[in-house]
Amino acid sequence: MTDNLTNIISAAVAAKMTPDFIEKEVNSRVEKLVVECIDKSFRSYSDTAKQIEEAVAAALKVEKLDLPSYGAMVTAMLKTQIETVVSPLVAGRLAEDMEELLHLAPAEVTLSDIAKYMREEHESEEKWGDVITVILEESLYGSRWLYLDDREHHDERNKHSCQHRLLLKEDGTISGGWIDGADMSKKAWFGRSHGLTQRLRAYIACNTEIILDIENVVTSVGDY
């Protein structure tokens, strides 16, 4: 009885394993896999090259498929799927990331707009008093230091405790300093950041000019 059942199952499986059936099923699943991999790989534009390479390499591995007689066919199908699906998805994701980057980093931004953005979250939480830090300090050869912290307020004596310390060139672009306490000249950024950190990274990437349009920046919110 057991042998008969085994023979019946084997015959049914063999009947299903036609080239047309395999091609149809593999195409369907590979396309879904590729789309998911591309979507995952573009969660951050900062590390796309490495992640794309890893995703494509992973997608091309077919040695673990327990279908040795169909290995060549599956490999060819994978190559075709990647060429037809990956290219437009990559182009689309890159376009979206560039649009987001340019939105975050215009050609120029005013210091008052930066301060306004820093205060917004505190205003929505109905806080009051000094809640952010914006300190501007003259430096050598026309450059200036800009100290920013959107999490807490520091006075002049404690400005080096600020979350971000930026050296601005005479034209207002960022030439060095620290972001989130990390030295810009030594740190390689990977992954997506948020809030003010994300915007400052975008300003650096796009060489955004920070216009110092105000001296006495409002650092408080609420009835203060």
Claim to verify: residue 78 and residue 54 sit in the same structural domain: yes
Specify the 3-state DSSP secondary structure of 182.
Answer: strand
Range of the domain at 96: 2-103
Q: pTM for this one?
A: 0.55
Claim to verify: residue 77 and residue 112 sit in the same structural domain: no
Claim to verify: residue 17 and residue 98 sit in the same structural domain: yes
Neighbour tally for 211: CB within 10 Å: 14
Claim to verify: residue 160 and residue 209 sit in the same structural domain: yes
Name the domain count of the chain.
2
Q: Is 180 left (phi over 0), alpha (psi -120 to 50) or beta?
A: left
Residue holding tokens 């091609």?
23
**Burial of 138 from C-beta contacts in 10 A (0-12 / 13-18 / 19+):** exposed
Q: What is the pLDDT of residues 60-91, one digit of tens each?
A: 565 554 544 555 666 777 777 777 766 666 65
Choosing from 60, 82, 103, the residue where a domain stops is 103
Q: What is the pLDDT of residues 188-213, one digit of tens each?
A: 555 566 889 888 988 888 889 999 99
How far apart are the C-alpha atoms of 67 and 62, rounded to whole Å? Answer: 9
The continuous run of DSSP H or E covering 135 comes out as strand 133-138
Choosing from 52, 78, 103, the residue where a domain stops is 103
**Count of positions (residues) in the chain:** 224
Claim to verify: residue 58 and residue 138 sit in the same structural domain: no
